[in-house]
Structure 1
Amino acid sequence: MTDLVSIIIPVYNREAFLKATLNSVRTQSYHNWECILVDDHSTDASLSLLKAFEEEDSRFKVLIRPDDRPKGANSCRNFGFEHATGRFINWFDSDDLMEPEFIQKKLAAFDAETDIVLSKTRIYYVADQTEVLEQRTHLTLNLLEDFITRKISWYLPDPMYVKSFLCKHNLVFDEQLLGGQDRDFFQRVLLNNPEMLVINDYLTTYLCKLPLKPNCLEV
């Protein structure tokens, strides 16, 4: 498969982590991607770092959240989506890391009927340098109910979507929400009965900077 994949990343004051995240995108084994970086009016050096990557590699595209959109990651995710030109969409976070085959392995799993392919996330605790492999990312016969009750779960970077599925059902992030943003979006996705599959690969490393492990696992 040679289709264009759009990676969309909201950014706000992530100067300390951006280089590692963007380098993990740049070193993907699959090369036909665009990475849309939407800065949420950072007050540190984040925007300068983004522009440096854009100058070095034209696949990075830097945008700034318009003043007439609410501040926050959801506005940036939607604004990036509006500018995405790929057949496939994958939102990502500005302080996480992609494995080199993040894109390639997901794309390889799609067939003509699939709307969403999910990989899995490894949670790495920076404070004590330990990791946990998320075990709740799988499919069940009662997807929506089991997701709501947290019997199953996944992280924002895990799903790769066919863009036409998102557009058909007008699936965007709620820009007014102050919390639970990912879960609200995922629940509305599930209400539209997507054809989904999960691959048994841990392709994202979630860097957890909080000292208490349960805080990073509440997804």
Structure 2
Amino acid sequence: MSLHPTVTIIMATYNRAHFIEESLLSILNQAFTNWECLIIDDGGTDNTSEIIALFSEHDSRFQFLKRPDSYKKGLPGCRNYGLDLAQGDYVIFFDDDDFVHPDNLKICLKELDDSLKDFCHYQKLSYSDVKPKFKNAIVKERKSIDKTAIEKVITQEIGLASCTVLWRKHCFNQVRFNENLLYAEEWECYSKLITHNFNGVIIDTVLYYNRKHADSNTAAFYSCNPIRIDSTVQAILLVLQNLKEKKLLTYSLKKYFILNSVKYKEYNLFDQILKELELSLFEKIQWQFFYKLIPLRLCLFGMWNRFKKDRIKK
């Protein structure tokens, strides 16, 4: 390994012996070779360490580390530990159950060198059982992203997933993952980075492949795991607070947060949002009226969609 790697790959791992070998092989096969891979163990109990040893004993670019107790258990703590150790000028986060295109680092670094941007966002492809085959990684379209696109980032029209961005390390000088979050942590962190005036480039190329399976954090969220749901609620409030502080909280974003608060009635998210917004009495009454009408609007919208489908069938 070079004394000064260009890229630091940070991978948190927890009981992924059955998946991590494929992930590490895809890193080993990167066309760009001047990287270090920090694999941070989050207290696993299976034989993941034995599989990692097969790589680290023969290639010093792989480093297996235990998360210290000074960082909280979970992805954010592991990633923050990796950020504090990173030697590269660029950082990227890969998950321990996915794999990456062999040209991932090469293409992203070229895009950043050519554009002089702070980060490069690429596309991912999800799969369940059948592993997708690599296609030629050709960049056909690229566009810029900056603070003016914050609404698209918040609503996830631009999906800055944790593993689909190569960052210049300086972006994390003042921003870290919130270690109290155990879901939606990358959404909270990355949206905050965008509001810090970092500029990026978005390319249309698929360079990452994420595996869908029952043991993932995403699967736990959609199974209504209370820990993941509670974390999402806390992330929403943190994102809201940051936008408010940066004076980026538009009417449409307020509407977006309040519409989504319907999903979290048992957490009183709507009331917490109103409290955070510090609205006038008139505005508060307006939003309360809007909130109460959401179920009716959703019902009418569903009926209209069914009506249109029935007409098309006829």
Distance 1:36 1:50 in 2: 11
Matches within 5 A, 1:111-150: 111=113, 113-126=116-129, 129=130, 142-150=148-156
Distance 1:9 1:197 in 2: 23
TM-score after normalising by structure 2: 0.61
Residue identity matched to 2:121? L
Residue identity matched to 2:154? I
After TM superposition, give the deviation of residue 152 of structure 1 in Å: 2.0
Could you tell me which of 182, 195, 198 is aligned with 1:178?
182
Matches within 5 A, 1:12-27: 12-27=14-29
Distance 2:51 2:191 in 1: 34
After TM superposition, give the deviation of residue 67 of structure 1 in Å: 2.3
Partner of 1:40: 42
After TM superposition, give the deviation of residue 3 of structure 1 in Å: 6.2
Provide the secondary structure at the position in 2 that maps to 1:56: coil
Residue identity matched to 2:124? T
Residue identity matched to 2:15? N
Could you tell me which of 152, 162, 168 is aligned with 2:158?
152
Distance 2:19 2:143 in 1: 29
Partner of 2:303: none
Partner of 2:257: none
2:209 corresponds to 1:209: no
Partner of 1:98: 100
Residue identity matched to 1:164? H
Contact 2:108–2:120 (CA under 8 A) maintained in structure 1: yes
Q: Percent identity?
A: 28
Could you tell me which of 79, 98, 117 is aligned with 1:77?
79
2:166 corresponds to 1:164: no
TM-score after normalising by structure 1: 0.86
Instruction: Give the total of aligned pairs.
Output: 207
After TM superposition, give the deviation of residue 121 of structure 1 in Å: 0.3
Partner of 1:187: 191
| Structure 2 unaligned spans of 5+ | 133-141, 223-231, 233-314
Distance 2:167 2:131 in 1: 30
CA displacement, residues 41-83 of structure 1 (integer Å, 9 cap, x when unaligned)? 1110112222221111100011100123211111000101111
Contact 1:138–1:152 (CA under 8 A) maintained in structure 2: no
Partner of 1:62: 64
Provide the secondary structure at the position in 1 that maps to 2:166: strand
The structure with the largest alpha-carbon Rg is 2
Over the aligned positions, Cα root-mean-square deviation in angstroms equals 2.7
Which has the higher relative contact order, 1 or 2, with Cα contacts under 8 A spaced 6 or more apart? Answer: 1
Partner of 1:134: none
Distance 1:140 1:32 in 2: 27
After TM superposition, give the deviation of residue 140 of structure 1 in Å: 6.2
Residue identity matched to 1:117? C
Contact 2:5–2:34 (CA under 8 A) maintained in structure 1: yes
After TM superposition, give the deviation of residue 147 of structure 1 in Å: 1.7
After TM superposition, give the deviation of residue 150 of structure 1 in Å: 2.5
After TM superposition, give the deviation of residue 160 of structure 1 in Å: 0.5
Provide the secondary structure at the position in 2 that maps to 1:123: strand
Which of the pair is proportionally richer in helix?
A: 2
